[in-house]
């Protein structure tokens, strides 16, 4: 078995995927990956994902080549066509939309193989240094969609991959835009690294040794970050701003977010120091600060209309939690009596609710403030109503006017918000 196939097999054995996907551009790197997987996998189907960026006149020809090669190998292929018109930064926009396309296929337990190699790793690390984002490397594995992305070739030079597929008689496409130095990555490759290579021929291996040491440090830090909850007190942050940046970047990268610049993180951290409410949206997640707490939680689209509930139990994903409504046999905490259907409304409006027998009517807005409910959660907070009467604020309290005993057609409903 060729060393390329051994590495691919090791990745499969270590991850045991339910489905195998390959990011297949038609270039030599992704061709080597697709062929190696096809040679070692017996029991699982392989699906190639090809993105037609539409940026070169040859784009359609590359797509046809990929379809033809997949047909020859007996591999299923899906094509994604991107619209990049109006993008100020075509490289960034193409990457974002490309990975969104990949992620749309990846379910829990699935694995997307990507053919990035050592040269790509060095270029990426240098590009991020020049952009002021630190010496950040591509991880061998990270989350993507509901599954994972893996890069098994990060220690291989591209020449080894070409040699492998050449001996097997495979064909691949050459992207002529790789010589266009207006693109940052191409400039680093053809100008900077070309000069470095003429002076230090072994720079790639030496660079890899440095990155390997960093990877070991990152593994130790990853173990630390993985133990942190998604709700943190800001006192966990170091006092020094540079240390804060390192801490926050490590926290986010452990969650799979690599795109934030230092300038964006500094702005976020400065607002925290001023005790201001601040929110950043990150690929379907929210990083937020509210009254001394840091939140990292799923982003949920705002509900635009009421929801009628006729059957129980009932659950509704509200982003930062799951609303649960269930019928119970007798009155208990966070339960109330009702007849007929329930209506779930959202936001607070000018509604008031009386909590406790001796309590006074309080506005929902004031209760949100008392319970330190972050501003970004409030538009999705479920108000449990019967017709237009507010019966319950899950996790906060029940309206004392919501009945006190069973009667004909009466149900006792318990409302809670479950952690996700």
Instruction: Output the pLDDT for position 406.
Output: 55
Question: CB–CB of 277/375 below 8 Å?
Answer: yes
b/e string for 234-246 if b means 16 or more Cβ within 10 A? eeebeeeeeebbe
- ω before 335 within 30° of 0 (cis)? no
Instruction: Output the pLDDT for position 331.
Output: 80
Question: CB–CB of 103/145 below 8 Å?
Answer: yes
Place of tokens 């193989």: 113
CA-CA distance, 330 to 394, in Å (whole number)? 18
CATH 3.40.50.620 fits 3-203, yes or no: yes
Q: Which residues in the chain show pLDDT less than 70?
A: 133-136, 177, 349, 356-359, 401-408
By the 10 Å C-beta count (0-12 exposed, 13-18 middle, 19+ buried), 154 is classed as buried
Q: Which sequence spans correspond to the domains of the chain?
A: 3-203, 228-298, 307-418
């Amino acid at each position: 078995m060729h060393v390329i196939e051994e590495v691919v097999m090791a990745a499969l054995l270590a991850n045991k995927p339910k489905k195998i996907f390959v990011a297949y551009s038609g270039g030599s790197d992704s061709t080597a990956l697709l062929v190696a997987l096809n040679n070692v996998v017996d029991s699982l189907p392989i699906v190639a994902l090809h993105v037609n960026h539409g940026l070169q006149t040859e784009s359609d020809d590359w797509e046809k080549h990929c379809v033809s090669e997949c047909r020859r190998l007996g591999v299923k292929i899906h094509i994604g066509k991107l619209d990049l018109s109006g993008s100020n930064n075509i490289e960034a926009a193409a990457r974002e939309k490309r990975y969104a396309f990949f992620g749309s296929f990846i379910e829990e337990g699935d694995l997307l193989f990507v053919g990035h190699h050592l040269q790509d790793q060095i270029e990426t690390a240098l590009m991020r240094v020049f952009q002021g984002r630190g010496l950040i490397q591509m991880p061998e594995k990270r989350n993507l969609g509901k599954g994972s992305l893996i890069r098994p070739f990060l220690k291989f030079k591209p020449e080894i991959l070409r040699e492998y597929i050449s001996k097997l008689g495979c064909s691949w496409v050459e992207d002529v835009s790789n010589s266009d130095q207006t693109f940052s990555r191409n400039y680093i490759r053809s100008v900077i690294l070309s000069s470095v290579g003429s002076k230090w021929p072994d720079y790639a291996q030496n660079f890899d040794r440095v990155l390997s040491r960093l990877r070991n440090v990152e593994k130790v830090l990853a173990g630390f970050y993985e133990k942190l909850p998604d709700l943190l007190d800001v006192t966990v942050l170091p006092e020094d701003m540079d240390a804060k940046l390192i801490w926050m970047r490590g926290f986010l990268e452990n969650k799979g977010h690599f795109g934030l610049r230092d300038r964006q993180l500094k702005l976020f951290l400065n607002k925290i120091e001023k005790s201001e409410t601040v929110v950043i949206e990150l690929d379907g997640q929210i990083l937020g600060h509210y009254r001394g707490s840091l939140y990292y939680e799923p982003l949920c689209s705002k509900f635009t209309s009421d929801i009628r509930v006729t059957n129980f139990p009932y659950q509704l994903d509200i982003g930062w939690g799951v609303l649960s409504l269930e019928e119970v046999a007798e009155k208990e905490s966070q339960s109330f009596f009702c007849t007929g259907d329930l209506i779930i409304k959202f936001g607070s409006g000018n509604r008031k609710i009386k909590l406790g027998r001796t309590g006074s009517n309080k506005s929902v807005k004031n209760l949100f403030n008392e319970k330190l409910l972050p501003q970004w959660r409030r538009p999705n907070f479920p108000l449990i109503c019967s017709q237009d009467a507010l019966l319950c604020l899950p996790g906060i309290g029940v309206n004392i006017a919501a009945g006190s005993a069973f009667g004909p057609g009466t149900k006792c409903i318990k409302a809670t918000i479950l952690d996700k």
